[in-house]
Amino acid sequence: MSRPNGLVISIDGTAGTGKSTVGRAAAQAMGYSFLSTGGLYRALAYTVFAKHVDAADPKAVLETAKSLQFRFERQPDATLKMFVNGEYLGNKLQLDEVAQTASKISTYADSRAVLTEKMRQAGQDGGIIMEGRDIGTVVFPDAEVKIYLDATAEVRADRRVKQLAEQGVQTDYGQILASIKERDLRDSTRKASPLKPAPDAIKIDTSNMNREEVIEAVVKEIKRYAA
């Protein structure tokens, strides 16, 4: 398929595999835009939270999803800055309550369909790398290049502990590992768009790779397609 601005590239995979870091760097190398689609789920969760909508009620969440207008502006670092009903939500989307609610509402098929449509609009002209859980399987099953990143739960827990330690937050490795395993299970067994590699995805196990090696591997796959 030919798109005006270039290819659509999907990067899916479990949490903590470096999808965002790698996707952003690869987008910079290609002169593409980068969108982390978890942001749309987080924006919906934030709005549900801020407007005191009952997160356990799929119909109420769907109405909230329909009320959201998204606008994206490309930044010099390739990321797409997201405005939700005209507002930049920034760090509010990183709150733990927001992440928890996002995880819950991402199991609702009707709300997923609304957000999926927004993602398609953002990416249809190509020249974009989109990171998420179902980009290569549901959002863009016709993406030209599909990457699926994975790493063992132990490696991901270790990375998370180190990342938090750098921010001065001391954590318990066992607890982090258990929480990663719990999220993996929920993401991969939910009925609506479960996390799984597309049949035509290139799978990369990042357990024994550093950041630069993963970026290099992903850019190589993209260039191989484009050549």
26 near ligand DC, rule: CB under 6 A: no
When the beta carbons of 126 and 131 are compared against ligand DC, the nearer one is: 131
150 near ligand DC, rule: CB under 6 A: no
206 near ligand DC, rule: CB under 6 A: no
82 near ligand DC, rule: CB under 6 A: no
Q: Hey, which residues between 29 and 48 contact ligand DC (CB under 6 A)?
A: 37-38, 41-42
- C-beta separation of 65 from 115 below 8 A: yes
Site size toward ligand DC, by CB under 6 A: 12
Query: Which residue of 132, 143, 147, 151 would you call a contact of ligand DC, by CB under 6 A?
Result: 132
106 near ligand DC, rule: CB under 6 A: yes
Residue 37 has phi, psi (to 5 degrees) of -75, -15
When the beta carbons of 135 and 180 are compared against ligand DC, the nearer one is: 135
CB 138 to ligand DC: min, Å:
8
Euclidean distance between CA atoms 89 and 42, whole angstroms: 10
CB 131 to ligand DC: min, Å:
7
Q: What is the CA radius of gyration of the chain?
A: 17
Which two tokens mark 215?
């970026």
Which two tokens mark 120?
């398609």
CB 66 to ligand DC: min, Å:
18
Residue 87 has phi, psi (to 5 degrees) of -110, 135
Euclidean distance between CA atoms 11 and 19, whole angstroms: 6
In sequence order, the 6+-apart residues with CB closer than 8 A to the CB of 134 are: 12, 116, 193, 195
Euclidean distance between CA atoms 202 and 1, whole angstroms: 19
Q: On the CB side of 215, how many CA atoms lie within 13 Å of its CA?
A: 14
Residue nearest to ligand DC (CB): 38
When the beta carbons of 38 and 126 are compared against ligand DC, the nearer one is: 38
When the beta carbons of 78 and 135 are compared against ligand DC, the nearer one is: 135
- The residues binding ligand DC (CB under 6 A) are 15, 37-38, 41-42, 102-103, 106, 132-135
